[in-house]
Amino acid sequence: MNLRAVRAIYLFEMNRTWRTIAQSIVAPVVSTVLYFVVFGGAIGSRITEVDGVSYGTFIVPGLIMLSVLTQSVANASFGIYIPRFTGTIYEVLSAPITFFEIVLGYVGAAATKSIILGLIILGTASLIVPLQVAHPFWMMLFLVLTAVTFSLLGFIIGIWADSFEKLQVVPLLVITPLAFLGGSFYSINMLPPFWQTVTLFNPMVYLISGFRWSFYEIADVSLEVSLGMVTLFLVVCLLMVRWIFKTGYRLKG
């Protein structure tokens, strides 16, 4: 294992984060606070409680997930797209490192960044609404699994994209809508039965439900199902990344 290489990529990517700290951390925190104002304040005054929890408190896990999902994808896709775009990828391709080590470096850094972000949002939220975390271990587990899985997905998007437009389009048209519709801001029990069924095809539902359970012990689907789905997602992404490196898809001509 070329740990020095993993470390070099990881630190290089984290360095990029510190350099763009405003974009990386401040912007998502600000937009989260705005969500609180709009959803928690405006809508929350109409919907007072969901499953016995005040609305402002109820949306916190969903909000964190929303940011972690979108930021993981954004971080990781940019992290690998930029060297492809500028051509500096040649160095990584010519280095004595395995695909696993490359992924560990890039995806590790992207995931670290969004985990930190998730925790900052959690801290910010706790200043605004009363919060409790019933199962901190499970909370961290869901947070880490989600960050890693979606960073992998971002990595795949960053390799697939051959233009900045494509880089933006998947997060914008697929990931953010699915996260919104996956119960970030409501319990799917609030939907008509037909839409409840449709929603079960949305993978985000399982992430958000499991994550919310770790806070308030309320869930739309069972914990086991949530965990199983996240793991399945993770494995699918890993297999795709493995295939990319095996074939050199979009990396090697």
Q: Which residues bind other proteins (CB under 8 A)?
A: 2, 4-5, 7-9, 11-12, 15-16, 19, 86-88, 90-98, 248, 252-253
CB of 109 to other proteins, least distance (A): 13
Q: What backbone torsions phi and psi does residue 50 show, to the nearest 5 degrees?
A: -125, 125
Nearest approach, Cβ of residue 95 and other proteins (Å): 5
E strands present in 107-206: none
Minimum CB distance to other proteins, residue 2 (Å): 4
Residue placing its CB nearer to other proteins in the complex, 222 or 247: 247
Q: How do the residues of the chain divide into helix, strand and coil, expressed in percent and rounded to 5?
A: 80, 0, 20
Helix/strand/coil (H, E, C) string of 179-224? HHHHHHCCCHHHCCHHHHHHHCCCHHHHHHHHHHHHHHCCCCCCHH
Q: Which is nearer to other proteins, 92 or 188 (CB)?
A: 92
Q: Minimum CB separation from other proteins for residue 209, in Å?
A: 40
Query: Min. distance of Cβ 28 from other proteins in angstroms?
Result: 21
> Looking at beta carbons only, is 46 or 246 nearer to other proteins?
246
Query: In terms of Cα–Cα distance, which of 207, 177, 170 is closest to 64?
Result: 207
> From CA 48, how far away is CA 29, in angstroms rounded?
24
CA 55, 226, 105, 87: dihedral to nearest 10 degrees? -80
Nearer to other proteins, 91 or 224 (CB): 91
Are the C-beta atoms of 199 and 223 separated by less than 8 Å? Answer: no
Alpha-carbon span 108 to 36, nearest angstrom: 29
Closest approach of Cβ 12 to other proteins, in Å? 5
- Identity of the residue, 95 or 172, whose beta carbon is nearer to other proteins in the bound complex: 95
Nearer to other proteins, 160 or 180 (CB): 160
CA distances (Å), origin 116, targets 58, 101, 112, 147? 21, 22, 6, 10
